[in-house]
Amino acid sequence: MKIRKGIDIRKVMFVTVGGVNIDFHGLEAPWQNIGDVFSSGNGLLEFLVGSAAVIAIAMIIISGYTLITSAGDPDKVDTGRKMLTGSIIGLGIIFIAGLVIKYILGLFGVEGY
């Protein structure tokens, strides 16, 4: 069985040149302008920031456990400190990135930011 790699030009031409317009009665077009695209991603942004924050907090707990159970072993103490430092820095970056994204979307006039 031969597997073809690449794009079938007939499918690309159908998409770019022609196509079928299917009308779904009772449904409006979800995106009328660029602001609608970003506002539909609002839930996605909050989910991603929240998930990353949960992971960072879990890493803080794991690094604390590593420090507590190190029993004075310099390698484990160093590993725990690095994990703790990285987790706290990551948590800060997560929240700052979320604020920057919301600020930029607010500048573009996207509703809800």
Counting the structural domains of the chain, the total is 1
Please check whether residue 52 is in contact with residue 21, taking contact to mean a CB–CB distance below 8 angstroms: no
What pLDDT, on a 0 to 100 scale, did the predictor assign at position 42?
65
- Whether 9 maps to a domain, the answer reads no
3-class SS of residue 36: helix
**Is 112 among the domain residues?**
no
Tokens 């590993």 sit at which residue?
79
The pLDDT value given to residue 46: 75
Q: What is the pTM of this model?
A: 0.58
Containing domain of residue 56, as a range?
32-107
Helix (H) or strand (E) run with residue 41 in it: none
pLDDT in tens, the chain (113 residues): 566 555 554 444 444 444 555 554 555 555 555 555 555 566 667 778 888 889 999 999 999 999 999 988 999 999 999 999 999 999 999 989 888 988 888 888 776 65
Sign of the C-alpha dihedral computed for residues 9, 10, 14 and 17 taken in this order: positive
Cα 88 vs. chain centroid, distance in angstroms? 19
57 assigned to some structural domain: yes
